[in-house]
Amino acid sequence: MPIFTKKRCLFCELRIQEIDYKNATLLQRFLDYYNRIKRREHTGVCLRHQKKLAQSVKRSRHVALCGFVR
């Protein structure tokens, strides 16, 4: 179930400015079972960080730290 009520952006809380594509374990939290990027309504990530997250997930996929599909 998506969480619509209380939004808590993890990256804002931890004050992460740049999301590192090398940190696959962190990125994995924002991917679903099929390695698709979760909607931000689902994870509570703010728009600014969602855009950065998407970019770093794509980089991470390119260097095979994350998968494209499962």
Partner 1 sequence: MPDTSVKQYELMLLIAPSLSEEQAKEHILSIKKEHIEPAGGKVGFEDFWGRKTLAYPIKKEMQAVYVVLHLEIDGSKLANLDEELRLDSKVLRHLITVVSSKVPTLTLEQIIAWNNEHLPEEQKSKKHEEKRAPRAAKKHVDSRPEMQAANKKEEEPKKVESKPAAKQESFDKGRLDAELNQMLEDI
Contacts to partner 1 by CB under 8 A:
1, 3, 5, 8, 10, 13-14, 17-18, 20-23, 25-26, 29, 59, 61-68
Structure tokens at 37: 């990027």
If the CB atoms of residues 48 and 62 are measured against partner 1, the closer one turns out to be 62
- Give the integer Cα–Cα distance in Å for 46 and 8: 8
What minimum distance in Å lies between the beta carbon of 25 and partner 1? 5
If the CB atoms of residues 13 and 47 are measured against partner 1, the closer one turns out to be 13
For tokens 């990530």, the residue is 45
If the CB atoms of residues 6 and 47 are measured against partner 1, the closer one turns out to be 6
Structure tokens at 50: 């969602």
- Give the integer Cα–Cα distance in Å for 41 and 47: 10
